[in-house]
Amino acid sequence: MPRIGTDEWVEQQELRTEYYTGLTAPARRAFDRVGPGPRFFAFLGICALFPFLTDSPFLIRVGVNVLLFALLALGLNIVVGWAGLLDLGYVAFYGFGAYTYAWVSSGQFDIHLPTELAILIVVTASALLGLLLGLPSWRLVGDYLAITTLFFAQIFVELTTNLDRLQLPWMDEPLDLTGGPNGIPGIDRMQILGIELPGVRDYFFLLLIVFALVVIGLYYVNESRTGRGWRASREDPLAAELMTTPVNRLKLLAFAMGAAIAGLSGSIFAAVQTGVFPQNFEVVLLIMIYAALILGGAGSISGAILGAIIVASVPEILRTPENARFLFYAAAIAVLVATMRPWQRLAVVVGAVVAFGVVVYQLVALAWPEGVEGETAGGRFSGLLGSWMVIPAENQELIGNIAFVLLVAGVLALTQLRGDARVMLLVPTLYLASFVWENRLIAQPSVTRQLLFGAILVAMMTRRPHGLLGTPRVENPV
């Protein structure tokens, strides 16, 4: 074996790469041979087809949300993934972009600038705000920076909610800057290069173009000197500084670029929604953007996109009980298939869960007949489910709550067990999970969404901190 790092070692790189095995191997090898460029354009092509496949304005609106989320996650990726600065005030830039767009193109101050100019102003203003709010990153690192920026986000929400009666000394009447809790309605539709964008479908295409430009731009930035500088200052700011990397300037640049992308998506969001409201920009959204980035893998462009697709579309699927149920069981089975080896054990577990359910159902039906008389939430498999799942006719909420607490305890216990004990506990836990799902969660999509995102963040961090598509990295202890 040649020494690591020598020319001979580099030449033998082929020998060390892992080869795919199994049936899907040729397809996966072919996928790897296609470069990132063609892969991305293929993805864009599929996205561009999407509005032609469906007529439902709702689905296209979901597509718009996915693209907005992807843009936000990409912007956050610059700051968090590449520069390694924990920016919890990110959502403020999104809101600032939306509000700035609203100021220059609505009846609030009766200013209606051409869209191109308005967007230019929004992007410049957001980038400047990013520079300004990035300044603390010179002095503060890690958690301290995180909390300071979180306060910026809070201040933004407080300001937008309260700046509707601003008493200025040189003005007679109070100034209504943000419309307070009622926000600014009646924002102009965009009109780009003389083409008016009246419908959601048009915004989808606009967003797709913006998205493509941003991704291509970011790809080259990441490969450039600047990108390497970010990674260097993320891994070890002190060493990077010594190697003459302008760490402080790079930090500001990261903040400004992230803010510019967030501001841009904010302006499009304002135009799609034709209104901006303070509650659009609360911490919940911040958590969702973080969940998208972390889930996909911080530091990876494709990861940010994948995470955004999952995070923005899952809540929409949860909206109707029928789809939510399908998603729940599909996800449960997918996770089992992905994590259980060998497949015999998987078969045993699935069979055992079904059998366990049947036994529990019969026992409950014997002991307490009202316990199985409840109605399922309806949908495709409700008939089948109704004779497997215990659904009490009364006290459903209380029993569901107790089951939820038990379920959390069960899942926590599962993480501690190994071997056969784990499989034994897995069976009742899975049944309990679907019990809680059918009885309690299916009717409350918004709560379910929050629960899922919280759980995803914790599970991702404890199991796979680099996300689905990210690369693991080792950090030296501080």
Partner 1 sequence: MDFFVQQIVNGVTLGSVYALIALGYSMVYGILKLLNFAHGEVYMIGAFIGYFVLTSLGGASSPMLPVAPLLILMFLAAMLGAGLLGVVIERFAYRPLRDAPRIAPLISAIGVSFFLQASALLLFSAQFRTYNTPQLIPFSTGLEVGPLRISLVRMLVIGSSIFLMLALTLLVSRTRLGKAMRAVSYDREAAAMMGIDVDRVIVATFFIGSVLAGAAGVMVGLVFERVFHFMGFIAGLKGFTAAVIGGIGNIPGAMLGGLLIGLAEAFSSSYISSTFQNLIVFGILITVMLIRPTGLLGSPVLKKV
Q: Which residues bind partner 1 (CB under 8 A)?
A: 80, 84, 86, 136, 139-140, 142-144, 146-148, 150-152, 154-155, 158-159, 162, 238, 283, 287, 290, 294, 298, 401, 404-405, 408, 412, 415, 440-441, 444, 447, 450-451, 453-458, 460-462, 465, 473, 475, 477-478
Least spacing, CB of residue 461 vs partner 1, in Å: 4
Least spacing, CB of residue 148 vs partner 1, in Å: 5
Least spacing, CB of residue 369 vs partner 1, in Å: 27
Exposure letters 423-444 (e unless 16+ CB within 10 A, then b) = bebbbbbbbbbbbbbbbbbbee
Q: 3-state DSSP call for residue 185?
A: strand
> Looking at beta carbons only, is 20 or 138 nearer to partner 1?
138
> Looking at beta carbons only, is 159 or 192 nearer to partner 1?
159
Least spacing, CB of residue 45 vs partner 1, in Å: 34
> φ and ψ at 409, to 5 degrees?
-60, -40
67: tokens are: 């693209």
> Looking at beta carbons only, is 118 or 288 nearer to partner 1?
288
Q: How many angstroms separate the CA atoms of 66 and 207, rounded?
A: 10
> Looking at beta carbons only, is 353 or 403 nearer to partner 1?
403
> Looking at beta carbons only, is 55 or 143 nearer to partner 1?
143
CB count within 10 Å of CB 464 equals 14
Q: How many angstroms separate the CA atoms of 436 and 335, rounded?
A: 18
Q: Which residues pair with 261 in a beta bridge?
A: none
Q: 3-state DSSP call for residue 275?
A: strand
Least spacing, CB of residue 180 vs partner 1, in Å: 10
Least spacing, CB of residue 10 vs partner 1, in Å: 28
Listing DSSP states for 85-147 in one string gives ---TTHHHHHHHHHHHHHHHEETTTTEE--HHHHHHHHHHHHHHHHHHHHGGGGT--HHHHHH
For residues 102 and 263, is the Cβ–Cβ distance under 8 A?
no
> Looking at beta carbons only, is 103 or 453 nearer to partner 1?
453
Least spacing, CB of residue 162 vs partner 1, in Å: 5
> Looking at beta carbons only, is 386 or 445 nearer to partner 1?
445
